[in-house]
Each structure stands twice: as structure tokens, then as C-alpha cells.
């Protein structure tokens, strides 16, 4: 007996809104109006121009800047009144220009946008260009800049995991002129629940003592093919116990890469013109992490005539995990190496290949920075 089963074809209708009038469609004058419209949009496309708004996204959507004619990029700037829309765990007010707030059921994607923070300067506030809180999605071809007003603690992008497992990709972005951190990732949960892919970004930290990337416990980041200019701060600080740092270029930092926990691997990075240390193994003892095939060139340290390529901090670290690195133009290749350490490495114009440990001290793990949580109410600044 044969059975014929008929299938009814169902087509899903997508909703697209246009902010501006550069293309045909359903038009809005403001980005927030389009996001809040009914039916809820799947895509909001933004015409070239300047939009003085503070944006909150609470449902899955793609927010996309349009390249039309000779128009400039869609540029989100500070509104005349900026509202506190979250706080850190200590209650410090936080102001986000784009706030993706606990979105479930799909992704929030941002693409081809510029987020400019000039003009925001409420002393004591955290000021963030793009904030994802317990939400997934992709940030592609987005520029954040000038989150560095007087008295603010400014971040280009802050990604926060929460109670559910989330995944965020940041790619092909430019992050510059921030006062505290470029791309910062953390979580409010105790277990690892935030997966990150950070690739092909340019992060420039020109202010003194700030970090380009800070990746906290509870995150699982892969940091690949980024270019980092870190000034007198750190290029990449990896506190996470999972993930990897591969194929990045780090220029002119105080400290190139900080490995603050055992677990992540640091492979095939190019680190140039650091002031103090190329790679700092702040975790002390390594049992899992591999540090291999990195090029560290010109560690300056003007006070001593040259710095250290890789500082092992007297930890019980084996050369089976740390090897095949290339050192050029510095005082020490390996600093504070344990007794018997002998990696298979390349040394060019290095005064001392391996400086063994003399103090026996191991630094404490890098401290996690303040985590964000949703504020109970908003207040005007």
C-alpha cells in the first residue's frame, strides 16, 4: 500500500524598516522608533547620516548601516540627554550608547555602523560604546571611538554573559580612543557561559595604562588575526581558563600578552616594540597552555637597556609547553625561568637567552574587573 503525503508550503514574512530616505521602504526618522515599531522588524537599515540617539535593543534584529551614493557611514553620536541604563556590581552608573539587553530567541547583529562618544563626560560613570548583556550575535564592521570623556571610565565594547549560554562574534571592527578598555568580556555567572570569536579587528589604546583586550573568567575566547596598538597598557589580558590567542600582531605596548590563567594557548603571534615584556605568564605554573611559534621583536625597557621576551615568573613550567619561539633585540629571551628550563627557540641579538629564577615568587592571578548587571531603573544624567 502506498501513501501520498502532501506538504503545505509555508513562507515566512520578514520585516525590514528604513531609517532615513536613501532607499525605498517603510521609513522612520529615528533608529529607536524603527526598532520599537510593530510588527517587530527583522532588519533595520540606517541611511548615511548622524543620529543623536541612545539605543536599546530587546529582541532579535539586524541593525545595518547602508552605504548609499557618496554618503558617509551611519553615525550614532551622543544624544542631548544620556541615560544610565545599567550599573556594575558596585552600583556605579553605566551609560551605553547601544545596549543589547537580555535578548532571547535569536541574534542581534550590528554591521557597518560608527558609534562616536564625543560629548559624554559625566564624571564617575562607566561609558560604553556597544554593550551586549546576556545576548548573542555578531558585531561586524563597526567602529567605536571617543569613549574617553573627562572623568568617565570608557570602553569601546563590553560583552557580558549571564544566566544562559551566549555566543558573540566581533570581527572587522575598529575600536579606538577609549579611556579604560577596548574590548572587554566578562560574565555574571560562575560557570563558563560566554563564547567569543574576536577576529580581524583593529584596537588602538593610545591612553596610558589601559588594556586593548581584557577577557575575564567565565568566557571562552578565540582571539585571532587582530592588530593591537596598546600604548603603555597591555595588548591582550587573558584571565579566562579556556580559549586561544593566535596570529595577532601587537605593537608598542607596555606588555604584549598576559596569560593570567592556565588553559589558553598563545600561538604564532607577532609582538613588536614592547616596553617591558612580550608575553607575561602571570599564571605562574602551566600544565595545559602552550606558548609556541611566537615572534617577539624589540623589547625596549629603556631603564635597563632591554626587557624580557617571555617572563615565566618562576613557575613550574615545562619547555614541552613553551618552545619554538623567536626572540630578537632584547636583554632576556626567557626571564624568571625555572631551573632546567631549555626550550627549542631562536635567539637573535639577545644578551641572555634564559635567565633562571632567583626569587621563587609567583605573582597572584590578575584580578577580575567589575561585572555589569541590569539596573532596576534608569535615571537621567
Return the minimum-mean-pLDDT range out of 59-63, 93-97, 237-241, 372-376: 372-376
Count the neighbouring beta carbons within 10 Å of the beta carbon of residue 16. 14
Q: What is the pLDDT of residues 247-291, one digit of tens each?
A: 999 998 889 999 999 999 999 999 999 999 999 998 878 999 999
Q: What is the mean pLDDT of residues 314-343?
A: 91
Q: Tell if the pTM clears 0.85, that is, is over it.
A: yes
Residue 380 in this model has a pLDDT that exceeds 80: no
Contact of 299 with 329, CB cutoff 8 Å: yes
Q: What are φ and ψ of residue 33, in 5° steps?
A: -60, -40
Cα three-residue angle 316-319-324, rounded to 5 degrees: 145
| Residue 263 grid coordinates | 588553559
DSSP secondary structure code for residue 218 in this structure: T
Count Cβ atoms within 10 A of the Cβ of residue 150 and give its class: 0-12 exposed, 13-18 middle, 19 or more buried.
exposed
Residue-wise pLDDT tens digits, 339-366: 889 879 999 999 999 998 864 444 444 4
Amino acid at each position: 500500500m502506498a501513501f501520498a503525503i502532501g506538504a503545505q508550503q509555508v513562507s515566512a514574512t520578514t520585516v525590514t524598516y528604513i531609517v532615513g530616505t536613501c532607499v525605498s521602504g517603510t521609513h522612520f526618522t529615528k533608529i529607536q522608533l524603527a526598532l520599537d515599531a510593530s510588527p517587530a522588524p527583522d532588519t533595520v537599515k540606517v541611511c548615511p547620516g548622524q543620529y543623536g540617539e541612545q539605543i536599546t535593543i530587546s529582541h532579535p534584529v539586524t541593525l545595518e548601516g547602508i552605504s548609499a551614493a557618496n554618503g558617509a557611514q551611519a553615525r550614532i553620536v551622543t544624544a542631548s540627554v544620556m541615560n544610565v541604563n545599567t550599573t556594575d556590581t558596585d552600583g556605579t552608573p553605566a551609560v551605553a550608547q547601544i545596549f543589547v539587553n537580555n535578548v532571547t530567541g535569536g541574534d542581534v547583529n550590528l554591521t557597518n555602523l560608527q558609534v562616536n562618544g564625543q560629548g559624554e563626560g559625566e564624571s564617575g560613570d562607566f561609558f560604553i560604546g556597544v554593550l551586549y548583556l546576556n545576548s548573542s550575535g555578531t558585531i561586524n564592521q563597526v567602529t567605536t571611538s571617543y569613549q574617553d570623556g573627562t572623568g568617565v571610565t570608557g570602553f569601546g565594547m563590553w560583552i557580558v554573559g549571564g544566566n544562559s549560554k551566549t555566543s558573540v562574534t566581533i570581527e572587522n571592527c575598529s575600536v579606538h580612543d577609549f579611556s579604560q578598555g577596548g574590548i572587554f568580556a566578562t560574565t555574571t555567572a560562575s560557570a563558563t557561559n560566554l563564547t567569543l570569536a574576536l577576529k580581524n579587528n583593529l584596537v588602538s589604546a593610545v591612553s596610558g595604562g589601559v588594556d586593548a583586550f581584557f577577557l575575564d573568567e567565565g568566557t571562552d575566547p578565540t582571539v585571532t588575526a587582530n592588530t593591537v596598538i596598546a600604548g603603555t597598557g597591555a595588548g591582550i589580558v587573558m584571565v579566562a581558563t579556556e580559549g586561544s590567542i593566535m596570529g595577532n600582531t601587537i605593537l608598542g605596548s607596555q606588555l604584549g600578552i598576559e596569560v593570567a590563567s592556565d588553559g589558553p594557548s598563545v600561538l604564532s603571534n607577532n609582538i613588536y616594540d614592547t616596553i617591558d615584556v612580550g608575553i607575561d605568564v602571570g599564571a605562574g605554573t602551566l600544565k595545559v597552555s602552550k606558548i609556541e611559534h611566537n615572534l617577539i621583536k624589540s623589547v625596549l625597557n629603556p631603564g635597563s637597556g632591554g626587557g624580557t621576551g617571555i617572563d615565566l615568573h618562576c613557575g613550574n613550567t615545562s619547555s614541552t609547553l613553551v618552545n619554538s619561539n623567536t626572540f630578537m633585540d632584547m636583554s632576556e629571551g626567557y626571564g624568571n625561568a625555572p631551573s632546567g628550563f631549555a626550550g627549542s627557540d631562536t635567539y637573535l641579538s639577545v644578551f641572555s637567552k634564559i635567565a633562571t629564577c632567583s626569587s621563587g615568587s609567583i605573582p597572584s592571578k590578575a584580578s577580575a574587573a567589575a561585572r555589569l548587571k541590569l539596573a532596576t531603573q534608569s535615571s537621567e544624567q
